[in-house]
Every structure is written in C-alpha cells, then in structure tokens.
Amino acid sequence: MQQQPPLQLGVLGSGKGSNFRAIAEAIDAGRLNAQVRIVIADVEDAGILDYARARGIRAEYLPPGRFRTKLEPEAEARLVALLREAGVDLVVLAGYMRIVKAPLLEAFPNRIVNIHPALLPKFPGLEAWKQALEAGAAVAGCTVHYVDSGVDSGPILGQSEVPVLPGDTAETLHARIQVAEHALYPAVLARLAAER
C-alpha cells in the first residue's frame, strides 16, 4: 500500500512551544505522517519560534495589534496569507492565546484543531486546570477539538483523563495535564493524517 503524502501543518503558538515540540518529535519518530510547513507566533520572543528556527522550519512573528484576545483584521488577513503561501492542510493551535475569527475559520473550514487543558465541554476558556480544582473535580484532563466560532466548543477529536490528586496545586495539576497533552495531540494528528 502506498504511503499517503505527509499532512502539511501550520502551527500557531504564543509560548514556549511544548506541544509543538511533542508534535515535531512524533514526526521525527515516524509516529505522525506530517510535515510542519510554518510556525507563526503573536509574541515576538516566543520560545516556539526559537524551536522552529533551530529545526530549520519557517518561523514568523505576526504583530497582533492593539487587542489582547484577538488579532487586528490586517493581521488576520496576513495570517491566512502566510498559511496559504506555506501550503498548509491543517492549522494546529499549540498554546495560541487568541480567539480565532472568521477570516481564518473561512479559509480553513474544519481544518483548524486546538488542544484545551480540560475535558470539554467542562471548563472552557482560560486556566481550565484552575477551574477544575476550584470546582472540586475528581478528574481533569485535556481535549483535542476542531475550532469553530465559539470558545472551545468545536467537535471533539480525542480526550485524555488526568486524575486530580490530593494536595494538587494549580501548578502540579497543570504539569500533569501537559504530559497528557504531549501524548494526545500527536496521536490525534496521526489519526487525522491516516484518515485523509
């Protein structure tokens, strides 16, 4: 049987890029039939850009403009142009801290995925691990889902449970959720790559 061509990924991030690193390592190990075409960050000194450059992957800083939670319309248009220019099949949000708006959703319908540090539909939004602790949840975890116009509301692609342990702090719980994320995200992407 002939191997499918690699799934062409465009990765958006805002931070150090630990999920991107897990994805890149899964590609290197042959567990994920994909190629990262471009990494784009809305934070100029984001670690994800340094990691992409160190791997020889095109890395772009996109100045976000004056809004804290979304991009300026011009930046949105530039983002779509960069992803199209790079020949991206699937947009992967990896710690991208902005709300995705219509231009990107329309350019890549049902082709944008995100990982969220909770078992959706519980605890959407920011700092979901803190929400889980404050609610007294016995189980937390992470979810990979398609991105739609809502907040963490798109169709779920995969989940991984993480027990809340006695004495957990927000930091210890979040650290364990991140370990689960680093296994779940590449596995879901591998499934998407195989199902094309």
Nearest to 122 by CA among 113, 134, 111, 110: 134
Pairing mode of beta strands 112-116, 139-146: antiparallel
Give the separation between CA 35 and CA 122, rounded to whole angstroms: 32
Active-site residue identified among 116, 145, 174, 182: 116
Q: Is 184 exposed, middle or buried (0-12, 13-18, 19+ CB in 10 A)?
A: buried
Pairing mode of beta strands 112-116, 34-41: unpaired
The answer for residues whose C-beta is within 8 angstroms of residue 48's C-beta and 6 or more apart is: 11, 13, 14, 15, 16, 17, 20, 39, 41, 59, 94, 95
- The three-state secondary structure class of 188 is helix
Contact 41, 21 (CB under 8 A): no
182 is catalytic: no
Give the separation between CA 82 and CA 84, rounded to whole angstroms: 6
User: Which residues are known catalytic residues?
Assistant: 116
